[in-house]
Structure 1
Amino acid sequence: MTTHLVTGAGSGIGAALADRLHARGDHLVLLARTTARAGVLQERYPGSEVVVADLADATALEELSGLPDELDSLHHVAGVVDLGPVEDQRADVLRHQLDVNLLAPAILTRLCLPALRRTRGMVVFVNSSAGLSANADWSAYAASKFGLRGFADALRAEEVEHGVRVTTIFPSRTATPMQEKVHEQEGRTYDASRWIAPSTVVETILHVLDLPDDATIPEVTVRPVLPRAT
């Protein structure tokens, strides 16, 4: 049975991805921040394994147990964002975004590498268009995503000899609860119809995931068709 580990399965792109993988009969290993959240995921995805892990706690992640011995893919989808100008970015706000968006994927990838190498599996980083260019008020989030891109590039180069493929997806604005929060922070009206549907990003992920073994897509950008409203 094909086994996938997915972070961020509680909402947005992560939930849409978990829905599709579960529907096609694949086995899921999901991370949940709390035991209460784990129960919700277990009920939604019967037969899946749910591991309690707080992505903001690097020390706890280092000691994480209960991961499978074999993994066909690892999907880093979870993320946090908190906008603000550099002059207002407190250390704790910056640290939280770096911990969840960059440090946690790095630690989790290292822990899962033996399981991925056994299957010649795949690591998918759901990054962001903010990992390609940074705008005002996005310094902390963009820094975490630029770092994540660099980590993925290095991992890709290192794991070629082990047959592990690495892909980074760069979705632009996607209709998720995170995007709704971003609009609130920007003081803008949220209109989900203007942005990419989570299912569209998932289609891209599945295309990458289901490629024959003789090919890989290192990076792919997904953008909405409609121009950004001013």
Structure 2
Amino acid sequence: MPTAMITGASRGLGAAIASALAPTHTLLLAGRPSPRLDAVAARFGASTWPIDLADPESIPAVVEPLTELDVLIHNAGVAFPGRVAESTLDQWRTTLEVNLLGAVALTLALLPALRAARGHVVFVNSGAGINASPGLASYTASKFALRGFADSLRNDEPSLRVTSVHPGRIATEMQQGLVVYEGGEYDPARFLSPETVAQVIADAVNAPPDAHVHEVIVRPNRR
């Protein structure tokens, strides 16, 4: 089976992506070692890779054994709710390190393996990567930059498929924190389910080889 590496797979959307791809791919779950990541790996017979996106210099040595990789899914991310005046430089630094620079470092380290497989890189972006989201200043900036990196990668690496996925708000722990910041009551029924977004991502990954899905935008269907 083809191989797929997923970052941020210990919970939420990442675990749902692992479930959606498990029937068709051998899974490599990348992230900081944790019991939650081990549990997801055990569910799907996956292997774990101890990758810390906040420490980009350590990444090349960890992924060096991989000579071919069919799919790389950048799902890991952090968000600090706050408008510009409420944000701190440390929050900006952490957000950009994980959401942007970590993804760049992992992609660069795996480029030879992806080229060898004529692989596919998927960036789980956000609606905030298209339109700025109030109360998410540093997160919005990181997602705009991530979209730019994806577009550049697509232009510069014609042998690869590169997809940016821009979901609306998803029912995850991160979403709960944002709702608390907004002073609202968390109702998961208002948001996309992780399983729905994971299926959209799996459909893009499993598209026929002559199809190159550049961008996917998916929003909750509020009836």
Measured against the shorter chain, the TM-score band is: over 0.9
Stretch of structure 1 that moved more, 209-218 or 138-147: 209-218
- CA–CA distance in structure 1, aligned partners of residues 151 and 90 of structure 2: 27
User: Contact (CA 8 Å) 2:75, 2:124: kept in 1 or not?
Assistant: yes
Secondary structure of the 2:68 match is coil
The aligned amino acid for 1:8 is: G
Question: Structure 1 residue 222 and structure 2 residue 221: aligned?
Answer: no
Partner of 2:66: 68
The aligned amino acid for 1:9 is: A
The aligned amino acid for 2:200 is: T
The aligned amino acid for 2:95 is: Q
- CA–CA distance in structure 1, aligned partners of residues 134 and 188 of structure 2: 23
User: Contact (CA 8 Å) 1:51, 1:66: kept in 2 or not?
Assistant: no
Stretch of structure 1 that moved more, 125-134 or 25-34: 25-34
Partner of 1:105: 103
- CA–CA distance in structure 2, aligned partners of residues 67 and 145 of structure 1: 30
How many matched pairs?
Answer: 223
- CA–CA distance in structure 2, aligned partners of residues 67 and 194 of structure 1: 43
Question: Structure 1 residue 165 and structure 2 residue 167: aligned?
Answer: no
Question: Per the alignment, do residues 67 and 5 of structure 1 end up closer, same or farther by CA in structure 2, a change over 3 Å counting?
Answer: farther
The aligned amino acid for 1:34 is: P
Choose from 189, 199, 202 the match for 1:203: 199
Shift of 1:39: 3.2
Q: TM-score, normalised by structure 2?
A: 0.94
Q: Which runs of 5+ in 1 are unaligned?
A: none
Partner of 2:186: 190
* 1:1-40 mapped onto 2 (5 Å cutoff): 1-22=1-22, 24-34=23-33, 36-40=35-39
Calculate percent identity across the aligned residue pairs.
43
- CA–CA distance in structure 2, aligned partners of residues 185 and 219 of structure 1: 30
Q: TM-score, normalised by structure 1?
A: 0.91
The aligned amino acid for 2:198 is: V
Shift of 1:66: 5.2
Choose from 148, 151, 154 the match for 2:152: 154
Secondary structure of the 1:64 match is helix
- CA–CA distance in structure 1, aligned partners of residues 88 and 61 of structure 2: 28
Choose from 77, 80, 100 the match for 1:82: 80
Question: Per the alignment, do residues 130 and 200 of structure 1 end up closer, same or farther by CA in structure 2, a change over 3 Å counting?
Answer: same
Question: Per the alignment, do residues 187 and 44 of structure 1 end up closer, same or farther by CA in structure 2, a change over 3 Å counting?
Answer: same
Secondary structure of the 2:62 match is coil
Q: Which runs of 5+ in 2 are unaligned?
A: none
